[in-house]
Structure 1
Amino acid sequence: MSRIAIIAGQGTLAPAVAACLDDPLIFSLQGFAPDGLAATPFQLERLVPFLDDLHAQHVTKVVFAGAIRRPPLDPEAFDPRTAQLVPRILTAMHSGDDAALRTVLDIFEENDLSICSIMEIAPDLIPAEGVLSGNPSAADRKDAARAAQIMSQTGSLDLGQGTVVSQGLCLALETLPGTAAMLDFAARHTTLRPNPNGARGVLYKAPKPGQDMRIDLPTLGPDTVDQAASAGLAGIAWAAGQVILLDRHEMIRRAQDAGLFLWAAGRLD
């Protein structure tokens, strides 16, 4: 009987995905255990034996869920077969997140393990087009379109999956520190808006152009709503059908309390 394994990272995405599966095997890279979910740790330095163990447990499919940052590597911990992958792994890790993730997917697939996307396993976590809360104004929609344009142009640089735009100006761009750091920066620079009484701004999230949609989809959750409110933004928009919402009902509740809109946006021109 074939089984599916979750390669779980930090945060609450892995538990949400696990709830959609019957008796999945759950593993996590050492040091990146998920929140509230028991997971068997493995070392990147012993990746090939780990893949062998997956096969021994009749795993044929894996799904990646949760945040993993680039781990430090211990040269003395590599087994002989994984050591042969070191040049490939290190090159990918120094080439950006996209290259690193593609290399990980390639290694799993080369070892006869299929990669499932969150869309396949938990489609309800990824909302289709529509406004979930509030009502974005015409100015908000223009800011969202500007943000989508910025993301389409910067995506090839492998920087991040989000930006903050207000009154047509880019106030912040997501980089390695993540969304929370970007919103904190935006909160500390609210005076950059040309018109203090004009549009307050929009957080926009979307995958990078050409991104492999099986892994590392952008994620939004209740904490994102709180951070956007603290930054004085009017709301949050994202690419419909391409962004994960964690605890959608709580996100909507907090957005309504804070007076923010939540918008799964279709094509933005």
Structure 2
Amino acid sequence: MRGESLAATGALIAGTGALPALLAAAAPGWRICEMEGFPSTVPGAEPLRFRVERLVPFLDALLDGGVKQVCFAGAMQRPRLEPEFFDARTAALVPRLIGALQAGDDATLRAVIELFEEWGFEVVGADTLAPDLVPGEGLLCGALTKGDEADATRAAAIVAALGAVDVGQGAVVAEGLCLATEALPGTDAMLDFAAAHRARLIRTPKSGVFFKAPKPGQDRRIDLPAIGPQTVAKAAAAGLAGIVFEAGGVLLLDRAATIAAAEDAGLFLWGRAP
């Protein structure tokens, strides 16, 4: 890849989900890059694809193309490394890469940021490219009860504890009881679990909250938590009263559609002060 002309001063390392397309629209001159096996949803893009096993040639190609800033967006799973694909320079990073991949998500992502910074790139967050995606404090729709506020407080404490050991960014609490917490399978799996089990645990037909927040001390330039219309649909299916997120710390994907979906489902959306 070395010597390939990128003709862009920024590179978007795009994964799956809605976020990459939103950021590509906000930064139309940026080059779209994809890790093999994890195609993005950026319409019309001709991405530069790379493998972790050939990370150094990929970084060199970005440098040679004049790239100065890099932004990571979208979901990616940890790849299975294939020894036969390693080039010599990337192979020298194997102990570091393996150690990072075996750590928690936040530790892994910090290691990724460090590598890109060592090559001289400025790593910027999604909120730098599209600050309007990060709502502040306040109720976006619906109404809160004292019980909802209490559930949100309980969920926030749980998420802070989970984040402190680099596990997850979300929890579901109803009537003070923790129904589910987010782990490696992700938000959708957590909400599906809550939907499957709440009937035998909670008597009130519509109660409880899903709370989402960054991990304590998380580097917010990468893996900033996000919610969107699908999150609303999953929360509604779980019988929840609303969704609570840390104000200034969560991406709201497709704001108008997410609010409309919450209103249609009778859910509140609340940006809670940290």
TM-score bucket of the superposed structures, by smaller chain: over 0.9
Partner of 1:33: 39
Amino acid at match of 1:19: A
Aligned to 1:216: 223
The answer to whether the Cα contact below 8 Å between 1:167 and 1:198 also exists between their aligned partners in 2 is no
Decide whether the 8 Å contact of 1:5 with 1:27 is kept in 2.
yes
| 1:149 corresponds to which of 149, 157, 180 | 157
Query: Residue 36 of structure 1: CA displacement?
Result: 3.7
Taking the aligned partners of 2:14 and 2:56, their CA distance within structure 1 comes to: 18
Alignment of 1:131 onto 2:139: yes
Q: For each residue in 1:213-269, what CA deviation from the matched residue of structure 2 results, as whole angstroms up to 9, or x when unmatched? A: 1000001010000000000000100000000111111111111111000111113xx
How do 1:1-269 residues align onto structure 2 when only pairs under 5 Å count?
3-37=9-43, 38=45, 39-194=47-202, 196-197=203-204, 200-267=207-274
- Unaligned stretches of 5+ residues in structure 1: none
Percent of residue pairs bearing the same amino acid type = 52
Give the C-alpha shift of residue 199 in structure 1. Answer: 6.5
Tell me the SS of whatever aligns to 1:188.
helix
Note if contact 1:166-1:193 (Cα within 8 Å) is conserved in structure 2.
no
Given residue 240 of structure 2, which amino acid in structure 1 is its aligned partner?
L
Contact 1:134 1:261 in 2 (8 A): yes
Q: CA deviation at 1:28?
A: 0.8
Distance across 2 between alignment mates of 1:198 and 1:140? 14
Whether the 8 Å CA contact 1:62–1:116 is kept in 2: the answer is yes
Partner of 2:68, secondary structure, is strand
- Gap regions ≥5 residues in structure 2: 1-6
RMSD: 1.3
Deviates more, 1:70-79 or 1:18-27: 18-27
Determine helix, strand or coil for the equivalent of 2:263.
helix
CA separation in 1, counterparts of 2:103 and 2:67? 30
Q: Distance in 2 between matches of 1:210 and 1:161?
A: 12
Distance 1:161 1:40 in 2: 30
Contact kept? 2:24, 2:42, Cα under 8 Å: no
Name the CA distance, whole Å, in 1 between partners of 2:243 and 2:83. 43
SS in 1 for 2:231: helix
Q: Matches of 1:264 and 1:206 in 2, distance apart?
A: 10
Paired with 2:230 and 2:205, the residues of 1 have a C-alpha distance of 25
Q: Deviations over 1:90-146 (max 9, x none)?
A: 011111111111111000000001101112111000101111110121110110011
Partners of 2:48 and 2:8 in 1: how far apart? Answer: 19
SS of corresponding position for 2:26: coil
Partners of 2:166 and 2:22 in 1: CA distance: 27
CA deviation after TM superposition for structure 1 residue 2, in Å? 6.7
How far, CA to CA, are the matches of 2:49 and 2:197 in structure 1? 41
Is the Cα contact below 8 Å between 1:222 and 1:250 reproduced in 2?
A: yes
CA contact (8 A) 1:201 1:235 kept: yes
Task: Tell me which amino acid in the other structure corresponds to 2:263.
Answer: Q
Measured in 1, the distance between the counterparts of 2:273 and 2:114 equals 31
Q: Is the 8 A contact 1:171 1:192 kept in 2?
A: no
Question: Aligned partners of 2:88 and 2:217: how far apart in 1?
Answer: 34
